[in-house]
Amino acid sequence: MAVKPFNFGSLKKVSEAEIQLIDLALGMLPETEARSNLGVEIRKIFLKHFGEKAFYYLESVSSDPYGSFVATLPDNPIIAVLNMEPKGAKALLTIDNNLAFLLIDRLLGGAGEPSVEKRPLSETEQGVLQYFIMQILASIWRTFGESARLHCRFERFMFDPRDAAAVINSKETAVSFVFKAGIGELAGFVKITFGGAFLSKVASTASESASEQAHFLERLDRFNFLRTSVWAECGNATVSSSDLIALENGDVIVFDETGLTETKPAGSVDLKVGSGETGSLRADIAAEGKVIKCTIVGG
């Protein structure tokens, strides 16, 4: 079998700003045990309504100008508008027509392969699909409770790309989570899309609750057996390229600004792991005989 080299030049370039927006979107879920439980609870709903062959999983996360997202919508999309409380912004839940008709068919008791039509849903079909969406939203509400940073409320369906274009500014960067869902060999995609301005606003007002702090400490305690090499930095010096070339064995570089006292090893240092590029922890040091003890005092 012939093997062709992968063309890395074809990969989409992702800016630092887009990465930050994706991090903000992921950060909407509080750092508690509920975060890991949410997927289990949603899976239970799928199994309850569609049987053991039902599945869903996160396929990808992407960021694009909202105008580009709207341009990819089909002529008759099926979009659920979600109102984000307490921020009052909107999110869009776009469901493939083939998946939407499959879910509606199964919820109404069907067992075969449903016909897929490119048209707006009837009132009855809207009611059935809305029921399932609200089951998911209710599960999110029950899972997170008071620890949730925001909640989604179903508002309405849209079936025209022009209506979707008016929800978020076309030039605004939008972040989309794409899920693949289905029953057996029948499947489709669900995409939930958030506006970048909304994500930034949520991040600016989000605060870590006591339950999140307790969960973080509990998680740290689980890994108290891990061992790693730690090194300390107590100062730095800048050496020009010309001076660096001229250095020889025996030359001395003076660190004129350090966190140590002159009499004995005491003061503060930065504790780092590996190359030290991922951050450090500030620690106060105290010499006890031949041992130097470090007490972490901050990040």
Q: Is residue 90 part of a domain?
A: yes
Residues 80 and 196 in one domain: yes
Residues 138 and 260 in one domain: no
Q: Is residue 244 part of a domain?
A: no
Q: Is residue 199 part of a domain?
A: yes
Residues 266 and 140 in one domain: no
CA distance 286 to 138: 54
* pLDDT reported for residue 132: 95
Q: Is residue 248 part of a domain?
A: no
Number of domains in the chain: 2
User: What is the length of the chain?
Assistant: 299
Residues 72 and 130 in one domain: yes
Residues 123 and 269 in one domain: no
Residues 168 and 27 in one domain: yes
Residues 136 and 277 in one domain: no
Residues 39 and 168 in one domain: yes
Which CATH number do you get for residue 59?
Answer: 3.40.1550.10
Q: Is residue 9 part of a domain?
A: no
Residues 72 and 141 in one domain: yes
Q: Is residue 223 part of a domain?
A: no
Contacts 24+ apart (CB under 8 A), 251-260: 258/234, 259/234, 259/235, 260/234, 260/235, 260/285
Q: Is residue 176 part of a domain?
A: yes
* pLDDT reported for residue 34: 65
CA distance 48 to 178: 23
Q: Terminus-to-terminus CA distance in the chain, angstroms?
A: 52
Residues 203 and 263 in one domain: no
Adjacent-strand bridge partners of 220: none
Mean pLDDT, 10 residues at a time, the chain of 299 residues: 75 71 70 72 90 90 89 93 83 93 92 85 95 91 74 91 91 90 92 86 62 65 72 78 79 71 76 78 82 78
Domain span at residue 109? 14-209
pTM value is: 0.64
* pLDDT reported for residue 58: 87
Q: Is residue 169 part of a domain?
A: yes
Residues 23 and 167 in one domain: yes
Residues 83 and 174 in one domain: yes
